Amino acid sequence: MELRKLRYFVVLAEELHFGRAAQRLHITQPPLSMAIHALERELGVPLFVRSPRRVALTHAGSAFLEQARSLLARAEDAVELARAAARGEVGRLRIGFMSGTIYTLLPGLLREFAARFPAVRLELRELAMPVQLAQLRGGEIDVGLVRPPVEDAALDAETVLAEPLVVALPRGHRLARLRRIPMRRLAQEPFVMFQRQPGLVMHHLVLRFCLQHGFSPRVAQEVAQSHAVVGLVSAGIGIALVPASIAGTRMRGVEYRPLLEKSPPVLTALAWRRDDASPALEAFRKAAREVAQRLPRPWGG
């Protein structure tokens, strides 16, 4: 059943006059009459009673009018939905994230994107980076917030944020008297380190930085998550080199100081499947770039 015939029927049912209906439709009367006859043949029932002086709906026509209007409205909704989907304004986006992004990019990005695209449903999953990459490849999530590099031919990535390392110290530590801490002053300190795991970069980043300054860190404890690192520093287990954004957690018993030397940047990137052309994904990436540009950088980066 053609939508054109339904539209012609509804206009004629409203006007009950072939001439006026044809004018509203910007057509002549003969194609209107032909379309109504064709619709009646398709349905197998007469929709109008015609006489030289009047046009009236039959009982079947009156019953069909409500449904015809509903079908036309649903068709218009479907068209608008398709256009909105093409603009990235509706749909679903499954997001993987590292716990560290809670202190930097993620909150502002979610607020910004939800305000711009309230009809896009966001599904969030806190996942370690290797799991994120595996779920991206498997189509279980659409985008991940990760630490680059992303070395997978099926995935693409874009770095959106860079921040320096800072020193996390137990409150009252003697080094907290310094405004900036030289790396050499950390050589004899016990370190709380991020775990050494395949696909995770923070352990290697900190280790390499220490080696560049002539010492290997004395590891007191290794843990997986940022909040666990800071928690152990608070407990006096050791000091830690952490992304500057972690200072925003304001955990009791911890003080932060910038380094005297320039540290390697801690990067945050978006990763996604290379063949994913979703407009919602593109809109999310654009929002991430804009939010990252506005983030405060108290210690550079």
3-state secondary structure the chain: CCHHHHHHHHHHHHHCCHHHHHHHHCCCHHHHHHHHHHHHHHHCCCCEEECCCCEEECHHHHHHHHHHHHHHHHHHHHHHHHHHHHCCCEEEEEEEECHHHHHCHHHHHHHHHHHHCCEEEEEEEECCHHHHHHHHHCCCCCEEEECCCCCCCCEEEEEEEEECEEEEEECCCHHHHCCCECHHHHCCCEEEEECCCCCCCHHHHHHHHHHHCCCCCEEEEEECCHHHHHHHHHCCCCEEEEEHHHHHHCCCCEEEEEECCCCCCEEEEEEEECCCCCHHHHHHHHHHHHHHHHCCCECEC
pLDDT tens digits, the chain, 301 residues: what are they? 788 888 999 999 999 999 999 999 999 999 999 999 999 999 999 999 998 888 999 999 998 998 999 888 888 867 776 676 666 665 889 999 998 898 889 999 999 999 999 989 999 999 988 999 999 999 999 999 999 999 999 999 999 999 999 999 999 999 999 999 999 999 999 999 999 987 789 999 999 999 999 999 999 999 988 889 999 999 999 999 999 988 877 789 999 999 999 999 999 999 999 999 888 999 999 999 999 999 887 666 5
| Architecture in CATH of 91-162+268-294 | 3-Layer(aba) Sandwich (3.40)
Fold topology of 165-264: D-Maltodextrin-Binding Protein; domain 2 (3.40.190)
Please give the CATH number for the structural domain made up of 3-86. 1.10.10.10
Residues of the chain with CATH 3.40.190.10: 91-162+268-294, 165-264
Residues of the chain with CATH 1.10.10.10: 3-86
